[in-house]
Amino acid sequence: MSGFGSGALGRVVRSGVGRRRVQTLVIAVATMMAVASAVVAGSLMVAANAPFDHAFAQQHGAHLTAQFDPARTSTARIEATGRLDGVTASGGPYPLTTIHPVAPDGGHLPATTLAGRSEPTGAVDDLDLKSGRWATKPGEIVLDESFAGPAFEPGSTLKTSDTADGRTLKVVGLAVSVSKTAGAWATPAQVRALASKDSPVTSQMLYRLDSADTNAQITQGRKEIAAAVQSGALLGTQSYLDTKRAADQGAAPTIPFLIAFGVLGIAMSVIIVGSVVSGAVGTSLRRIGILKAIGFTPREVVRAYVAQALIPAGVGIALGVVLGNLLAVPLLDDTEEVYGTASLSVAWWVDVVVPAAALLVVGVAALVPALRAGRLRTVEAIAVGRAPRTGRGQWAHRAAGRLPLPRAVTYGLASPFAHPVRTLAMLLAVAFGTVAATFAVGLTASLNAVGTASDPEERAAVTVFSGGGPPQGPAKPRSSEAGSAPPAADPAKVRAAVEAQAGTASYYGLTETEATVGGISGPVRASLYQGDMGSGGYEMIAGHWISGAGQLVVSTRFLERTGTEIGDTVRVALRKESRTLRIVGEAFDTSDDGLHLHAGLADFPAVEPQTFLVEVETGVSPAAYAEKLSATLEPLGGDAVANSPSEQEGTILLLNTMAVLLTLMLVSVAGLGVLNSVVLDTRERVHDLGVCKAIGMSPRQTVSLVLASVAGIGVVGGLVGVPAGFALHGFVLPVMGRAAGTALPPSVLDVYATSHLVLLGLAGVVIALLGALLPATLAARARTATALRTE
């Protein structure tokens, strides 16, 4: 009997697993979904936790990127800098130049650094080739994956400029440089051939340093490199710390979100798996008594029932790991694309820790009731298993019987009070499912509000340029320095043309330039507005948008960086003019590292608007409006384009996808928890149901009885889960905002309407009813005679 595989104990285990197929299936499916959700959440948490650091290590990124003037120093001297003390690895020198790409549709792109490399691999900045192949011959180019889209993919072409000597190159691949050492790559010979008087060839060196954790260490390395070549030969350097800071700011907001879902998933996994397994063992007391009566020792009984739980749970855990990996892969691909990191995959330790933890939970959940059963005397176990403890919940039946409801419904409403522990587990499952649904609805609404509150320039129907046309298609006029453009048009004449154009509803002028501000070292980006400035207003966190002269609107990070607050004054210098402006508002603006200023052009009369953002009248086609206006502006040197509808940013789409997937998984797990509890309950009460059927209860009334037994739990779960989900949203969203370096406006935080909360409260009832529907149907179909014989 001590043998496990082919002996009596093995037959008991196999019999227990095979006899209760529904219960075995529920254990397997519940553990599968719980493990899958934990694997997905854990993988995304790992991926979102410092993705730059992981990619930087994988690609052997450059701590310092340096650019040299080959006319001032020799190639040998440049190469020798790679052997300086403190330099652990180097790459180059690579020829470098600048191109001004023109897309196939004629749109100008920002000036792009083109580096000459014969292969993507190297001791430093080992490029990750995402698609296509490497450029190996003249006329070929590899672009950074940030260019990826319908216009640029392997096989497409681009021109290096719109001048007469601009070359047409074939795009053969897309790559990622975590160090951002260049925007495109070609063969060294191709780079030298594309050089011109305006864009001469320089030399690029890439360094990895033994000490590069702080700005001071990077600066020291730069000084030693500069001292190793002739004076003036070092044109400039780029520290990886700047690139890392930008990448980490993009990843940081996702971490609180994933932690919230991860904690929900882990908590639900423990509750569901624990209740499923302990319930399965707890309902087998009578059989345990019989086994002890025929000679099984308490230890063998414990082993048998722990094994009966571990076998289906083990299958579910294995399937859950596979399912979790399959679900995580597309999300990791999206994460990789959004953050521009190297290839991401499920961390190996996630696939080890999650199933190990799940097995531990299953083992503990099965061991506790099994030990209790093993200690029961044989007669007591048979008696308890045959006639469950009476008297529990009688007061609930008496109270429910007074309600003006059908008897089948009142019977079901009182049933949960007979098993308080099981009911509590079911209630927690429903409540956690409702928390996940409430949090996900609020999160997606907030993220969509963030997308709507994006740069107002992207919301304008038409963009009018004072000269040369759009530098980067119709998207943004910010990169006006890119490409070659005709002389600028007279802004006054452009403004007059906009006002005279039929269909103009409103417009405002905009200039973007650099300014200096007291308390901040280095230049900051400033947007200056003219005309109907309200149309260009950002979402406000506090205060109000600029409405006249002498006013300044700044971001959260600006206030933190300068130690100022709304109402304070700051000195702003622009070109040769300097003004004292009063801060009147805190805007939801994270552009330019959160140091973007917004003021009126009236404060700087020497500055003219570069662009005009136009709203058209209702019923007017922006494309037709822009075409007519462009014909008017062309002789003046201006242009107009209709803006495409703004699409959500990749990060917002990624977070929405994660929220929907994880919520569906958690709600499914909650429903399985309800399903298991109802299966156990109907199995225990099968004789009572048979008696009810014998005295006239119809199948429809049986379904009503079973569903009513979980309806109250659904109501309470919703009442508990909705406030908890609401509170979780109110806690996590500000944390995500702080991680991104900004506070959040009311439009992003206050996204729940009363009707939404009511519907979400009903979600608990829906989860409970859906989980109970299958066992209710099976109970209704059971024949009366069969139910009466089953006791």
pLDDT digits (tens, 9 = 90+) for 642-683: 776 554 455 566 666 767 777 777 777 777 777 777 777 776
Q: Stretch 687-706: mean pLDDT, rounded?
A: 71
Q: Before 93, cis peptide (omega within 30)? A: yes
- Structure tokens of 42? 């854990």
- Is the Cα dihedral 757, 762, 764, 766 positive or negative? negative
Confidence of residue 94 (pLDDT cuts 50, 70, 90): very high
Q: Over pLDDT 70: what percentage of the chain?
A: 74
Residue 530, pLDDT above cutoff 60 = yes
Out of 386, 413, 445, a domain closes at: 386
Q: Stretch 357-383: mean pLDDT, rounded?
A: 73
Cα 252 from chain centre = 10
Residues 658, 524, single domain; the answer is no
- Structure tokens of 704? 């009503």
Check residues 285 and 193 and name the one with the higher pLDDT.
193
Q: How far is CA 173 from CA 128, 193, 378, in A?
A: 11, 20, 74
Residues 163, 226, single domain; the answer is yes
Amino acid present at 303: R
Query: Is 240 inside a domain boundary?
Result: no
Residues 24, 155, single domain; the answer is no
- Span 200-245, pLDDT tens digits: 889 999 999 888 888 888 888 888 898 888 888 888 888 888 777 7
- Span 717-752, pLDDT tens digits: 889 989 998 998 888 888 877 777 778 888 888 888
Strands (E), 178-262: 184-186, 202-209, 234-239
Q: What is the pLDDT of residue 95?
A: 92
Query: Is 772 inside a domain boundary?
Result: yes
Residues 710, 563, single domain; the answer is no
Amino acid present at 728: L
Confidence of residue 397 (pLDDT cuts 50, 70, 90): low
Residue 589, pLDDT above cutoff 70 = yes
Average pLDDT, the chain: 76
Query: Is 489 inside a domain boundary?
Result: yes
Query: Is 557 inside a domain boundary?
Result: yes
C-alpha 285/C-alpha 492 separation (Å) is 90
Coil vs helix vs strand at 516: strand
Query: Is 26 inside a domain boundary?
Result: yes
Q: Stretch 619-628: mean pLDDT, rounded?
A: 84
Residues 380, 419, single domain; the answer is no
Q: What is the dihedral of CA 553, 556, 557, 558, to 10 degrees?
A: 30
Q: What is the pLDDT of residue 645?
A: 57
If you search the block for the tokens 């959040």, which residue do you land on? 744
Q: What is the pLDDT of residue 276?
A: 65
The closest alpha carbon to 114, from 137, 140, 132, 153, belongs to 140
Q: Tally the domains of the chain.
A: 4
Q: How far is CA 462 from CA 106, 108, 160, 521, 644, in A?
A: 18, 17, 27, 36, 9
Residues 401, 373, single domain; the answer is no
Check residues 473 and 127 and name the one with the higher pLDDT.
127
Coil vs helix vs strand at 471: strand
For residue 121, the enclosing domain spans 70-232
Residues 482, 421, single domain; the answer is no
Query: Is 778 inside a domain boundary?
Result: yes
Q: What is the pLDDT of residue 207?
A: 92
Residues 12, 81, single domain; the answer is no
C-alpha 169/C-alpha 160 separation (Å) is 7
Residue 29, pLDDT above cutoff 70 = yes
Residues 607, 706, single domain; the answer is no
Out of 642, 675, 696, a domain closes at: 642
Residues 725, 626, single domain; the answer is no
Residue 251, pLDDT above cutoff 60 = no
Q: Over pLDDT 90: what percentage of the chain?
A: 2
For residue 110, count other CB atoms closer than 10 A to its CB. 15
- Span 442-496, pLDDT tens digits: 888 887 787 777 667 667 778 888 743 333 333 333 333 333 334 467 788 888 8
Query: Is 245 inside a domain boundary?
Result: no
Out of 611, 642, 673, a domain closes at: 642
Q: What is the pLDDT of residue 204?
A: 92
Residues 424, 462, single domain; the answer is no
Residues 227, 88, single domain; the answer is yes
Residue 534, pLDDT above cutoff 60 = yes
Q: What is the pLDDT of residue 2?
A: 42
Query: Is 683 inside a domain boundary?
Result: yes
Confidence of residue 344 (pLDDT cuts 50, 70, 90): low
Confidence of residue 388 (pLDDT cuts 50, 70, 90): very low
Q: Stretch 411-421: mean pLDDT, rounded?
A: 72
The closest alpha carbon to 283, from 375, 389, 429, belongs to 389
